[in-house]
Structure 1
Amino acid sequence: MSGTALHYFSGGNTARGYFSLFDSNFTGLEKVFILKGGPGTEKSILMKNIAKDWQEKGYDVELVHCSSDSDSLDGVIFPTLKIGIVDGTEPHVIEPKAPGAIEEYVNLGDAWDSLQLSAKKDEIIQLIKERKEAYDKAYQTYAEALAVHDEWEKIYITNMDFEKLNKVTEQLKTTFFGEIFLNKQANIQHRFLGAATPKGAVDYVPNLTENIRKRYFLKGRPGSGKSTLLKKLASVALNRGFDVEIYHCGFDPNSLDMVILRELDIAIFDSTAPHEYFPDREGDEIVDLYKLAIVPGTDEKYEEQIKKISTRYRNKMNEGTSCLAEAKKSNDKLEGIYQKAVDFTIIVDIQKKIETTLVEFTKETNVD
C-alpha cells in the first residue's frame, strides 16, 4: 500500500522579500541531504523520483514545493524515517547544524562540463542579473500592494467590535480544547498556506486538510481579525501541549492563514480569496467574522472607497505576478544552458547513491 503525500511551501515570494521557513521543517531530522548545483541539474526531478519510489514502498512523504515554480520541488521529507532531501542553493540556503553527522552535501555540479559552461559565461551572468532584477521588482511591487492592503484593512479595523471578536475566539477555544492539557512538549511547524508564483496564487489546502474531520472556514474582510484569531488559537494549543502546524500567509508572512491541530482532527483557515473554499463535506463549518464582529453596513458605507482600493491592490498583485513570470523566463533560459552541459548518467548515479544511503539508514535505525 502506498504512503500518503502532503504538499506545502516552505519558502515564499512575499511583500517582505523572499521569506524562508525551511528550518522549521528540516530541523529535527536525523539525516538531511543538501543538494548543491545550479539550474538545470535536475534537483527537483531527482527528489520527485526518490519520493515516488519510497511512497510506493509505503512511506509517507512531504513534498515541499518551489514558490517560483510550483511544479518543481524544493525539498522532500520522509517523516517516519526522519530523513530529508533539500535544494540548498540560493535563495533557500540551508545552514548545517551538524555537518557530516546529520547533513550531507550532494554536489550535482560534478555532472557539469565546466568548459562548456565557461563558453557561455557572459550569457549566464546576464541571465542571473536579469533574474535578480525581476525578483527585486516583484518584491518591491508586493510591498506596494501590502501598503494598499493596509488601507483596506484599516476600514474594517476601525469598524471592529473587538469584544465580539474576543467572544468568538473564546468560544472556539472552548470548543477546540475544553479543559484538556497534554503532558508533553508541543511540536510546532511553520509553513506557508500558499505562494505567489509566476502563475498566480497557488495553495494546497484540499490536500493539507484531506484527512481532517472538522474544518472551520474563516470568512470575512481584510482586517476583520482572521489572523489575530488564528494566532491566539495557536498560542493556546502550544501552551496546552498540542502539536501545531502554523501556515503563514504567502503574501505577508507576519500574518497567519491556517492552523492545523491533527491530534484534535481540526483545521481552521482563512477561506477568502485567493484561497477561497466552501464547505463540501460533513464536519465543515463557516465562521464569518464580518457578520460576527464588524459593524453592520460597513461594506455599504465604504463601497466606493473599497472598490478603488481593491482595484489598486489587484493591479499591483498582477504586476508582481508578471515580474515573477519574467524571473522564471530568465531561469528557464539558464536551465537550458546548464542542461546541455550536464551528464545525466552522473545525476542518475547520484540518485542511486542517495537511495542506497536511505536503505542503509533505515536498517541502522530499524525502521520498517
Structure 2
Amino acid sequence: MTQTGTIKHVFPASNTPHGFHSFFNYILPQTEAKQLYIIKGGPGTGKSSFMKRVGNYATEQGLDVEFFHCSSDPGSLDALVIPSLKIAFLDGTAPHVVDPITPGVTDQILNFGNNWDPDKLIPYKEDIMSINSRIKDQFAKAYMYLAAAKNLYDAYVFTESKAINTSQKFKLEKQILFQLFANVKDKEEPGSIRHLFSTAITGEGILDYIHTIVGTTKNIYFFKETLGCNSKELMIKIADTAVAKGYHIECYHSPVDTDKIEDIMIPELDLAITTSHLLHKPRIFPTSIFDFTALLDYSILKPIEIDLERDKRRFTDLLDKGCNTIATAKKIHDELEKYYVGSIDFNRIDTLFDTMIETLFPPQE
C-alpha cells in the first residue's frame, strides 16, 4: 500500500499594516516549474475546491504537497504545489493577479469563467458591484487599524529596547551563529531564499501553520523573545550566512513587521530556526532553546513596565479591530459567492478534474 504524502500548510500572502503583502512569486518560480496552471474565475466558482481535490489526490498517491492558504479566508486555497512534479496551481484573480509569463511553455490558464451562465449573473449586476465596493471599504478600514496597531508596536519596541543589555545580546548572537555554522561546509554554488508567511493576520485572528512547516525536522533552534528584545538582526544574519554558504533556505516573515523573519528552514541541514513571542507561538518540540528575554535589565525595565503594558494593550486592541474588520469583509464576500455558485455548471469542473488527474498521474502500464 502506498504511504500517504504529507501536507505543508503556508500563507503566500498576508494582510499587514502596509496593506496586502504578497510573496506569490516565491510559490514556484518560473525557472523551477515544469508547469504552472493559472486559474481564472470569479468568487465561488470552485477554484479552491479544485486545488484541494488535486492536492488530496496527490497525497493519496504518496506525494508531498504544499497548500497555500488565503489570509482573508484561511479555509480557501490561493495555490497548490506538488514539489516532486514541479507543478503548481495558482489562483490568478485579485488581489494576487497572476498572468502567464511564458504561455504555452510553463504557463497554462484554466478559465473557470467558462463554467458559469452569464444570464444568471446579469440581473444582479448592481448588487454584485455594490458588494464588491463594500468589501473594498472593509479592507481599507482594516488596513487603517493595522497601520495604527503598527505604530503602537513600534512604540513598544522602542521603549523596551532601552532595557536590553546590548553587550550580552551581541555575545549570545555570536554564540548562536558559531554553533549553527561551525561545522557547515561551503558549497560551490550560491544559495537562494524562498520568502513566505507561516503566520498571517486573518478574520479569525493571527493564525499559524508553523508545526506543518517544521514537521519532522531533526534540529530545531528556538528563540524565546519579547516584541522588543528579539532576534530580528540575528535571523537576517543567519539567512545571509546560509545563502552565502550555498544553501537554499525558506524564510517566513512576520505579518506585523514584514522585514522581520520569524522562521528559517534549511532542509539540506535538516535544520529549523524559529521564534516565540506574543504573536508567534510555535507548537513544536525544540532541540535547542535560547532565551532572549534574559537579556533585559530588570532595573531599567521595572520603571517602564506600565508604559509597556499600556502600549501592548492598545496594540492588541487595534490588531483585534483589524482582524474583526477582515472578518466582516469575509462575511460580505460570502454574500458575493452565492451569486456565482448559483450560476456555475460544476459538472464541467468535475470533468476538468478527471482530465487533470489523468494528465498528472497517467496510468502505469
Q: TM-score range, shorter-chain basis?
A: over 0.9
Whether the aligned pair in 2 keeps the contact of 1:15 and 1:143 (CA below 8 Å) is: yes
Whether the aligned pair in 1 keeps the contact of 2:214 and 2:272 (CA below 8 Å) is: yes
- 2:336 corresponds in structure 1 to 334
Q: Does 1:208 align with 2:227?
A: no
Alignment-mate amino acid for residue 156 of structure 1: E
Q: Does 1:117 align with 2:121?
A: yes
The Cα offsets for residues 246-283 of structure 1, whole Å up to 9 and x where unpaired, read as 00012221211111112222211121122224764xx5
Per-residue deviation at 1:191? 0.7
Alignment-mate amino acid for residue 35 of structure 1: I
Structure 2 residue corresponding to 1:221, chosen from 223, 226, 246: 226
Whether the aligned pair in 1 keeps the contact of 2:275 and 2:282 (CA below 8 Å) is: no
Whether the aligned pair in 1 keeps the contact of 2:38 and 2:99 (CA below 8 Å) is: no
Whether the aligned pair in 2 keeps the contact of 1:16 and 1:252 (CA below 8 Å) is: no
- 1:182 corresponds in structure 2 to 187
How many Å separate the matches in 1 of 2:271 and 2:300?
31
Per-residue deviation at 1:159? 2.6
How many Å separate the matches in 2 of 1:178 and 1:332?
53
How many Å separate the matches in 2 of 1:224 and 1:95?
42
Whether the aligned pair in 2 keeps the contact of 1:23 and 1:94 (CA below 8 Å) is: no
TM-score, normalised on structure 1?
0.93
How many Å separate the matches in 2 of 1:127 and 1:341?
17
Per-residue deviation at 1:286? 2.2
- 1:263 corresponds in structure 2 to 268
Whether the aligned pair in 1 keeps the contact of 2:226 and 2:278 (CA below 8 Å) is: no
Structure 2 residue corresponding to 1:230, chosen from 201, 218, 235: 235
How many Å separate the matches in 2 of 1:209 and 1:163?
31
How many Å separate the matches in 2 of 1:277 and 1:32?
32
The Cα offsets for residues 209-239 of structure 1, whole Å up to 9 and x where unpaired, read as 1211122221122121322211111110000
How many Å separate the matches in 2 of 1:81 and 1:178?
35
The Cα offsets for residues 81-119 of structure 1, whole Å up to 9 and x where unpaired, read as 100001110011124321121110110011111011001
Whether the aligned pair in 2 keeps the contact of 1:156 and 1:298 (CA below 8 Å) is: no
Whether the aligned pair in 1 keeps the contact of 2:211 and 2:284 (CA below 8 Å) is: no
Per-residue deviation at 1:354? 2.5
- 1:285 corresponds in structure 2 to 288
DSSP-derived class of the 1:354 partner: helix
- 1:276 corresponds in structure 2 to 281
Query: What are the within-5 Å matches in structure 2 for residues 61-80 of structure 1?
Result: 61-80=65-84
Per-residue deviation at 1:298? 4.0
1:253–1:162: structure 2 CA closer, same or farther, 3 Å change rule?
same
Structure 2 residue corresponding to 1:131, chosen from 117, 132, 135: 135
How many Å separate the matches in 2 of 1:129 and 1:286?
48
Q: Does 1:31 align with 2:35?
A: yes
Whether the aligned pair in 2 keeps the contact of 1:194 and 1:202 (CA below 8 Å) is: yes
Structure 2: stretches of 5+ with no match in the other structure: none
1:70–1:116: structure 2 CA closer, same or farther, 3 Å change rule?
same
1:354–1:254: structure 2 CA closer, same or farther, 3 Å change rule?
same
DSSP-derived class of the 1:3 partner: coil
Superposition CA RMSD, Å: 1.8
Structure 1: stretches of 5+ with no match in the other structure: none
Alignment-mate amino acid for residue 201 of structure 1: I
How many Å separate the matches in 1 of 2:284 and 2:194?
26
Structure 1 residue corresponding to 2:310, chosen from 290, 308, 311: 308
Per-residue deviation at 1:67? 0.5
How many Å separate the matches in 1 of 2:87 and 2:300?
51
Whether the aligned pair in 2 keeps the contact of 1:16 and 1:139 (CA below 8 Å) is: yes
How many Å separate the matches in 2 of 1:41 and 1:279?
37
How many Å separate the matches in 1 of 2:175 and 2:99?
42
- 1:240 corresponds in structure 2 to 245
Whether the aligned pair in 2 keeps the contact of 1:176 and 1:264 (CA below 8 Å) is: no
Per-residue deviation at 1:72? 1.1
Whether the aligned pair in 2 keeps the contact of 1:160 and 1:295 (CA below 8 Å) is: yes
Alignment-mate amino acid for residue 289 of structure 2: I
User: How many positions carry a matched residue from both structures?
Assistant: 360
Greater CA drift, 328-337 or 248-257 = 248-257
